Amino acid sequence: MFNFMEIFKISTTELAHSSFLAWLLNPLEEHGLGDYFLKNFLEKCINKINENKWTDIEIPDINELKYKKVIIKTEELIRKKPVDITIRFPDEKFFCLIENKIKQKETNKQTETYAKLSKKKYLNYKYYWYIFLTKSGEKAKSEEFISFSYHDIKDLLEQTVKTKDKILKNHNVIFLLEQIIVNIENNILDPIDYPKTCQDIYKRHKKTFNEINAAKIKSFNRKVRI
C-alpha cells in the first residue's frame, strides 16, 4: 500500500507529525472530530499520571474545559526556543507542552529548560503538563515530563477511525488517518516490538496464562513435597 508521507519524504519528519497531531488535537479545525481526539488524548495522559502516581501534577476536570477557546500551536517560541506543540486553555489556566522526538535525541537539559521557561511565560497558570513523545516511550531528562509513545498515538488514531459511523464521516479524513497509522507502523515503530507485542498477547489471553502459571506452581509444589 502506498503512503503519501513516504512519497513526500516526510515519513519520519518531526515537524510533519507535530503539525498533523496539532491539527487533530484542535477542535476548531475542519476535520469533523470536534473535541473528540483532544479529549481522548487528555484522558490517556490522565491515565499515565495516575499509573505513575505523579501526585505533584494537578489534573483539571477535562469535561469542564472550554474546548472552543483552546489555543494550539506548533513551534511556539518559549524564550526564543521553538517547542513542538503547545495546548493552552486560557480560562482554566491550563498549559500543556508536547516535545516530539522521532529520530532526534533530547539535547542537554532541553526538557528541563522548556519546563522552567514555560512556567515563567505562563506565570499565573494553575495546571502544567509536559509530554515527552518518542518512538517507544523513553523517559525525558526532566522528571516533570510524562512519557508518551507512538504506540499510544497509533492507539488513539485507530480508536478514532473506529468512530467513523458515529462521529467521523469525512472519507478524506478517514483515509488520512489510515495513512498516518500505516506510516507509524512502517516507519516509526520497530518492525517487531517485543515488549508491546507480548503485553498485547498477555492482555488478550490473561486468563489462560494465569491458569498455566498456576498449574506450573502446583506441579512444582508437588515435586518439592516428594
For 16-25, how does the pLDDT look when each residue is reduced to its tens digit (9 = 90+)?
999 999 999 9
pLDDT at 169: 77
pLDDT cut 90: percent of the chain above it: 69
pLDDT at 194: 44
Q: What is the pLDDT of residues 31-63, one digit of tens each?
A: 999 999 999 999 999 999 999 887 789 999 999
User: What is the number of structural domains in the chain?
Assistant: 2
pLDDT at 213: 63
Model confidence at 209, pLDDT cuts 50, 70, 90, reads low
Q: Is the Cβ–Cβ distance between 132 and 148 less than 8 Å?
A: yes
Q: Which domain holds residue 200?
A: 192-226
Do 159 and 66 sit in the same domain of this protein?
yes
Do 129 and 199 sit in the same domain of this protein?
no
Q: What is the mean pLDDT of residues 206-219?
A: 61
Q: What is the mean pLDDT of residues 2-10?
A: 86
**Average pLDDT along the chain:** 87
Do 154 and 220 sit in the same domain of this protein?
no
Do 73 and 23 sit in the same domain of this protein?
yes
pLDDT cut 70: percent of the chain above it: 83
In the predicted structure, residue 76 carries a pLDDT above the cut 70: yes
Strands 127-134 and 145-149 turn out to be parallel
Rounded to 10 deg, the angle between the 206-225 and 194-204 helix axes is 90
Do 75 and 102 sit in the same domain of this protein?
yes
Residues 214, 43: Cα–Cα separation, whole Å: 35
pLDDT at 224: 52
Do 147 and 197 sit in the same domain of this protein?
no
pLDDT at 211: 62
Q: Which residue has the higher pLDDT, 213 or 115?
A: 115
Do 208 and 160 sit in the same domain of this protein?
no
2 three-class SS? coil
pLDDT at 71: 98
Do 137 and 226 sit in the same domain of this protein?
no
Triad 91, 14, 48: Cα angle to 5°: 55
In the predicted structure, residue 222 carries a pLDDT above the cut 80: no
Q: What is the pLDDT of residues 119-175, one digit of tens each?
A: 999 999 999 999 999 999 999 999 999 999 999 999 999 999 998 777 777 889 999
Of the candidates 220, 200, 36, 16, the residue with the CA atom closest to the CA atom of residue 103: 16
pLDDT at 93: 98
- DSSP annotation of 201: H
Q: Which residue has the higher pLDDT, 7 or 197?
A: 7
Do 200 and 95 sit in the same domain of this protein?
no
Residues 226, 222: Cα–Cα separation, whole Å: 6
What is the DSSP code string of 121-169? Answer: HTTT-SEEEEEEEESS-PPPSSTTEEEEEHHHHHHHHHHHHTTTTTT--
Do 202 and 183 sit in the same domain of this protein?
no
pLDDT at 207: 62
